[in-house]
Amino acid sequence: MARRVVVGVVEATNERGVKLGGTWHNYSSFAQNGQIDRSVKPGDTAELELTNTGWIHKLQVVQRAGSQQDGQAAPQASSALGARQLDASQYARLRALELASPVALQYSDSVERYMEVLSAVANWLVRYIEEGDPLG
C-alpha cells in the first residue's frame, strides 16, 4: 500500500484530525497506538504519513510551536489577528474586485475580455463605494 508523507505547520486541530496546508486530514481508526501524536497543537510543525486514501496513519510532531532549534523564538503562525490592517481605500478596492468578479465572468468569453470587464466594473464599484451613488 503506497503512503504519502506531508510536512507542514498545523493550522487547526479537532478530535478527528488536523488541518495542514489548508486541507483537513482525519485520523485513521486502523492506526496502531502510539503512531499518532494527538498532543499536536496549532502552530506545531508536523509530519503526517497518509494512506493512499488520505487518512492519517502516522503523525509525528517535528517541532513544537514557540520553540526553535537555535534557541531563538519561533515565528508566530499566521492568523487573522496578525493580518495587516487595510485602510478604507484598500478595503474598497478588494471588496469591489470580489463583487465584480462574477459579473465579469458572466460577460466575458476569453481571459483578456474577463480582465477588461473586471477592471471596468471594479473601478466603477470603487468610485461608487468611495464617492457614493452618482445617481443621487
- Residue 1 corresponds to which cell in the numbers above? 500500500
Residue 62 · residue 7 · CB < 8 Å: yes
8-state DSSP, 133 = -
pLDDT for 6 beyond 70? yes
Which of the four pLDDT bands, split at 50, 70 and 90, describes residue 107? confident
Is pLDDT above 60 for 85?
Answer: yes
- The mean pLDDT of the chain is 78
pLDDT at residue 116 greater than cutoff 80: yes
Residue 1 in this model has a pLDDT that exceeds 50: yes
132 Rama sector, left if φ>0, alpha if ψ -120 to 50, beta otherwise: left
Class of domain 4-63 (CATH, top level): mainly beta
Residue 125 φ/ψ, nearest 5 degrees? -65, -40
Q: Where are the domains of the chain?
A: 4-63, 88-131
Distance CA 102, CA 44 (A): 37
pLDDT of amino acid 18: 92
Cα end-to-end span (Å), the chain = 67
